A and B are shown apart, each in its own frame.
Chain A
Amino acid sequence: MSPLLQGIVTVVVGVGGCVGYFFLSNLILDKVIFPTRAENPGKNINRANLVRPWLFLFPAMAALGLYLVYPVVGSFWRSLHNRSGDEFIGFGNYAVMFADDGFQTALFNNFLWVLVVPASATFFGLLVAQLTDRLKWGNIAKSLIFMPMAISFVGASLIWKFVYANNADIGLINAIRDVFGASDPLDVLQLRFWNNFFLMFILVWIQTGFAMVILSAALRGIPEETIEAAIIDGANPFQVFFKIKVPQIMGTIVVVWTTITILVLKVFDIVYTMTGGNFGTEILPSYMMSYMFRDDGRATAVAFVIMIIVLPVMIWNIRQARAEMR
């Protein structure tokens, strides 16, 4: 069976199955288990309504439980075992890992990524949002800056591989250096330490549009009176921006920052495609992939370290959501 046909069959079976499940389970609940036409319909309706939420929630909860909750436990348990998973070695994987130079580099680089990418993407996003606010062609500019959101990390890496190419006739960076009289082409991806920043810029390039869209909506939501009042009091545009606007959208800035931070902790495609983790550019997710299929104990241990780094963000998110619900 061709994969496309197989996909169509899945859509039909999957969607049909889901609809069938929801429809039939509700029907059975209403007609068979707690029929409204029985001796005390009122009580039966109430009892049915106690069960119904769980009918609605069941497929989602089952999928979430299996694909996201169980792995947290499952990965931790697996990380306590050796390479092939048949021998319990306690925290042996973690001990070996923390002593490994590659892991230390990856941890340090990951730290740089988390520091630089969310900060720069939010900064550029805010800058573009503010600058395009009252431009006539602002929406076009926004669309163009938002566009990289649609491009895969692999596609984006290829696009930038081209810019960074080690040849003044292919790579823009080297072409510009050439104009300024640099003698030899430079492979920026092999410049130790600095190459990390060239990789990070790709993610900043992708994420700025996201930050811009959300921050520009937040800027529009600022009550005009506060800005007018500041201008009448003689504030210059910079003061209006930094002292009136930014404090009022601080909440949104934090949300954008956090969202991008989470993304940074998950992304491995860019490093994998651009350098394969060579030349000192390894980050934790790509370091993990280098052990995947080879040493599951090590791989899951790295994954668990990523989980622990994400944990504070997770707690912050949950508290934020609970505060909103009140």
Chain B
Amino acid sequence: MDNIAGTKSSLSWAVQISVILLVVIWLVPTIGLLVSSFRDRDQISASGWWLSPFAVEQNFQAKIPAEEAKPDQGGFVIEGNIFGGADTEVIRFGGARSNPTIAAVGETAELTRDRTLTVQQNGDFTYFSPAEIKRDPSIYYSTATPPDFSLSNYRNILFSNNMDVAFINTLTVTIPATIIPILIAAFAAYALAWMDFAGRGFLIAMVVGLLVVPLQLALVPLLQFHNKIGIGQSFLGIWMAHTGFGLPLAIYLLRNYMVGLPRDIIESAKVDGATDFQVFTKIVLPLSFPALASFAIFQFLWTWNDLLVAKVFLPSNSESWVMTVKIADDLLGSRGGDWGILASAAFISIAVPLIVFFTMQRYLVRGLLAGSVK
């Protein structure tokens, strides 16, 4: 279609630019979080992540000892180096908390009570006071801290904040809750697609209708039910809940796919004496692999990312938290301002879905198209 007259218009540049713009808007927030997850806590609050490749200007305070003061030029002078010889550079300095960076290096800053202060780039300072110095004076200075990227946020959140436990819990919830509904749904989808029985149309309509039922309805009655049969809030309960909630989409997607399989294959197998069970396991199931894979990805992403079901059906003690609950209920409350920790926690929780997503994207898209566009 590329060479139809008129399609290669002047719009082509506008198209390129608008797509770039959209991609940037869609990508930048995630990149920001990723960059921040590697940065030191103080650096995050000192400069934006978009400036992270550059040095950060940070303010410090140093006390200088009053007893080193020597009488000189009709007053008292303290000399020395604020870094004690370390290899750092001062950018600005000052002598008062209210205005910590009043002077540039090399200048002489006028302080209160006629005192003066000079700081050199390498940290050498000269402090002069006309009167005797009784208390240790403070020097305020700012240095350029080089960019500091490390895995310390990840180490911190994983090993001292129980995020590793939450990670394992999430896996524990997700794997059974992905595999079991697929199996149940595949049999049901086959029956709805290829078996003839009274009430089939009604059942299909019911499955479509149930796609829409809000989860919220299920919470209270089912929790009561779980308590009554003795499961209560537990992993077993959440597996059952995810299985129930995932089924309508699974049956719907798989049935739509199976209906599209060629009728001849199935009928000739039956003529040759295959039972429905054999037709299903030997022919339909292998042929349905793309649809099974796409639903598996969906159900995996959905159970991995779920917050609501986990909040209701899992016990609320910290040993049973999945990552979403851990982040939403614990970290955002207790570590609300600690952006480095939050960012690394978010990345730990989205790493697995992202890997699954980018490796299996083909199947995901195919499944979406099989189920939604008819």
Q: Do A and B come from one complex?
A: yes
B54 on the A face (CB < 8 A):
no
Which of A7, A132, A151 makes the CB contact (< 8 A) with B176? A7
4 smallest A-B Cβ distances: which pairs?
A67-B244, A74-B221, A152-B305, A60-B188
Which of A6, A56, A228, A303 makes the CB contact (< 8 A) with B191? A56
Instruction: Give A83 Cβ to nearest chain B Cβ, in Å.
Output: 12
User: Can you list 14 A-B contacts (CB < 8 A)?
Assistant: A10-B236, A15-B183, A56-B195, A60-B247, A63-B247, A66-B244, A67-B218, A150-B350, A159-B346, A169-B45, A237-B9, A259-B372, A266-B216, A269-B307
Which residues of chain B are near A259, meaning CB under 8 Å? Answer: 372
- A303-B251 in contact (CB<8A): no
- B354-A237 in contact (CB<8A): no
Instruction: Give A126 Cβ to nearest chain B Cβ, in Å.
Output: 12
B179 on the A face (CB < 8 A):
yes
- A205-B26 in contact (CB<8A): yes
* Nearest B-chain residue to A65, judged by Cβ: B244
Report the interface size class on chain A.
35 or more
Given contacts A7-B175, A57-B187, A255-B372, 6 further A-B contacts (CB under 8 A): A49-B276, A78-B221, A141-B23, A159-B33, A170-B339, A324-B374
A78-B220, A151-B305 in contact; A214/B312 too (CB < 8 A)?
Answer: no
Within 1-43 of A, Cβ neighbours of B (below 8 Å) are at 2-4, 6-8, 10-11, 14-15, 18-19, 22-23, 26, 30
Binding site for A on B (CB under 8 A): 1-2, 4-7, 9, 11, 15-16, 18-19, 22-23, 26-30, 32-33, 36, 44-50, 168-169, 171-173, 175-176, 179-181, 183-185, 187-188, 190-192, 195-197, 200-201, 203-222, 224-225, 235-236, 239-241, 243-245, 247-248, 251, 275-277, 280, 301, 304-308, 311-312, 320, 324, 327-328, 332, 339, 342-343, 345-346, 349-350, 353-354, 356-358, 361, 365, 368-369, 372-374
Which residues of chain B are near A172, meaning CB under 8 Å? Answer: 28-29, 32, 48, 50
Within 223-262 of A, Cβ neighbours of B (below 8 Å) are at 224, 227-228, 231-232, 236-237, 252, 255-256, 259, 262
Distance, CA A61 to CA B44, complexed state (A): 53
* Nearest B-chain residue to A50, judged by Cβ: B197
Which residues of chain A are near B239, meaning CB under 8 Å? Answer: 10, 14
Distance, CA A297 to CA B208, complexed state (A): 28
* Nearest A-chain residue to B46, judged by Cβ: A169
Distance, CA A285 to CA B219, complexed state (A): 12
- A132-B29 in contact (CB<8A): no
- B48-A175 in contact (CB<8A): yes
A106 on the B face (CB < 8 A):
no
Which of B5, B179, B240, B349 makes the CB contact (< 8 A) with A11? B179
Within 188-237 of A, Cβ neighbours of B (below 8 Å) are at 205, 208, 210, 213-214, 217-218, 221, 224, 227-228, 231-232, 236-237
- B243-A63 in contact (CB<8A): yes
- B184-A60 in contact (CB<8A): yes
- B275-A26 in contact (CB<8A): yes
Task: Kindly name the residue among A54, A68, A325 whose own CB sees the greatest number of chain B CB atoms within 10 A.
Answer: A68
Distance, CA A159 to CA B344, complexed state (A): 11
Instruction: Give A28 Cβ to nearest chain B Cβ, in Å.
Output: 12
Instruction: Give B148 Cβ to nearest chain A Cβ, in Å.
Output: 16
- A68-B213 in contact (CB<8A): yes
* Nearest B-chain residue to A151, judged by Cβ: B350
Distance, CA A23 to CA B212, complexed state (A): 32
A158 on the B face (CB < 8 A):
yes
A217-B369, A224-B1, A317-B209 in contact; A143/B328 too (CB < 8 A)?
Answer: no
Which of B172, B191, B211 makes the CB contact (< 8 A) with A7? B172
- A135-B16 in contact (CB<8A): yes
- B168-A3 in contact (CB<8A): yes
* Nearest A-chain residue to B5, judged by Cβ: A231
Which residues of chain B are near A72, meaning CB under 8 Å? Answer: 213, 217
Distance, CA A279 to CA B141, complexed state (A): 40
- A321-B210 in contact (CB<8A): no
Which residues of chain A are near B183, meaning CB under 8 Å? Answer: 15, 18-19
- B372-A144 in contact (CB<8A): no
Which of A68, A132, A144, A175 makes the CB contact (< 8 A) with B27? A144
Which of A2, A8, A158, A302 makes the CB contact (< 8 A) with B33? A158
Which of A52, A61, A69 makes the CB contact (< 8 A) with B195? A52
Instruction: Give A238 Cβ to nearest chain B Cβ, in Å.
Output: 9
- B205-A303 in contact (CB<8A): no
Within 80-125 of A, Cβ neighbours of B (below 8 Å) are at 124
Which residues of chain A are near B204, meaning CB under 8 Å? Answer: 321, 325
